[in-house]
């Protein structure tokens, strides 16, 4: 397969895939900025900040406990888009990195291995006193006690809030600087630094592909657009990339 600049898009080309909430929407998890992006009347960015946690930790714990419970529920499973990306990872012979802004574990449940959760994971918690990170208790609260150092009221969800530093940026930019293909799926392009990854990839000469139901804030930076449901567009795109 060749792109419009005549470059080869073979399976040995280094690839970076970025995913956002849109890839998990069809698995039943609400996106952040859609019409459904409200929780108990709060805008989600009002509960996903260090300030919110300082001012009302119980509210923030309730929000993440509810999301964690939902994710563990019987109705939630990877959809065709997650499964197609796992197929892409298995078939790819060149460097491969999946960077996700999602805190769910649906990529892992689909069988992916090379994932980087730049915004942390809902299933993990961290102790502010001893820095220990481990699987999150189902119900975190201000009364929770750290099993390692014994502190009380120091456990927080191990997710990256607004104003905090995303994870793995060094590794991500290194991969972007050498990638030949960059794909963004189901992300609105409103939250940096992830929204800027397409420009970094293009500066490296990569061919960039956006999959989204709608235009995003950064659509103009992409070379190729697949408009539609992730569950339909991603499997078709993966078929094209791996040539089946």
**Angle in degrees, CA 68, 74, 78, rounded to 5:** 80
Q: What SS3 class is residue 134?
A: strand
25 annotated to bind ligand: yes
Q: Of residues 87-126, which lie at the interface with ligand APR (CB under 6 A)?
A: 101, 119
User: Do residues 152 and 179 lie in contact, with contact meaning Cβ atoms separated by under 8 Å?
Assistant: no
- Residues of this chain that bind Zn ion (CB under 5 A): 127, 129-130, 146, 148-149, 151
Q: Is 107 designated active site?
A: no
Catalytic residue among 61, 117, 119, 225: 119
68 annotated to bind ligand: no
Q: Which is nearer to Zn ion, 116 or 153 (CB)?
A: 153
Under the binding rule (CB under 6 A), the answer on residue 35 touching ligand APR is: no
| Residue 65 touches which member of Zn ion, ligand APR, none, C-beta under 5-8 Å by kind | none
Q: What is the DSSP string of 25-72?
A: HTTT---SSSTT-EETTEEHHHHSSHHHHHH-HHHHHHHHHHHHHHHH
Give the start-end residues of each E strand in 128-175.
133-135, 155-159
Residues 52-91: x where in contact with ligand APR by CB under 6 A, - otherwise, as a string: ----------------------------------------
Contacts of residues 113-117 at CB distance under 8 Å and 24 or more positions apart, as own/partner, are 113/89, 114/89, 116/167, 116/168, 116/171, 116/172, 117/167
**Considering only residues 31, 65, 121, 154, which one is a binding residue for ligand APR as defined by CB under 6 A?**
31
28 annotated to bind ligand: yes
Chain positions contacting ligand APR, by CB under 6 A? 20-22, 25-26, 31-34, 44-45, 48, 101, 119, 186-188, 190-191, 212-214, 216, 229-230
Residues with catalytic roles: 119
């Amino acid at each position: 397969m060749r792109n419009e600049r005549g470059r080869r898009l073979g399976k040995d080309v280094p690839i970076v895939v970025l995913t956002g909430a849109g890839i998990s929407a069809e698995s039943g998890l609400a996106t952040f900025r859609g019409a459904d992006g409200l929780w108990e009347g709060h805008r989600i960015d009002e509960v996903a900040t260090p300030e919110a946690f300082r001012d009302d930790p119980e509210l923030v714990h309730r929000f993440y406990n509810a999301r964690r419970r939902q994710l563990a529920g019987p109705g939630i499973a990877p959809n065709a888009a997650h499964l197609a990306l796992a197929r892409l990872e298995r078939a790819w012979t060149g460097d491969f990195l999946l960077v996700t802004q999602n805190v769910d574990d649906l990529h892992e449940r689909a069988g992916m291995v090379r994932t980087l959760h730049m915004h942390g994971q809902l299933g993990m918690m961290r102790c502010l006193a001893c820095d220990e990170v481990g699987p999150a208790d189902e119900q975190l609260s201000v009364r929770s006690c750290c099993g390692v150092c014994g502190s009380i009221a120091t456990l927080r969800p191990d997710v990256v809030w607004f104003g905090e530093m995303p994870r793995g940026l060094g590794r991500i930019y290194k991969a972007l600087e050498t990638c030949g293909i960059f794909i963004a799926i189901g992300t609105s392009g409103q939250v940096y630094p992830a929204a800027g990854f397409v420009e970094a990839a293009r500066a490296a000469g990569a061919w960039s592909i956006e999959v989204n139901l709608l235009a995003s804030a950064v659509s103009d930076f992409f070379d190729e657009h697949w408009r539609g449901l992730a569950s339909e567009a991603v499997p078709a795109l993966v078929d094209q990339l791996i040539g089946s």
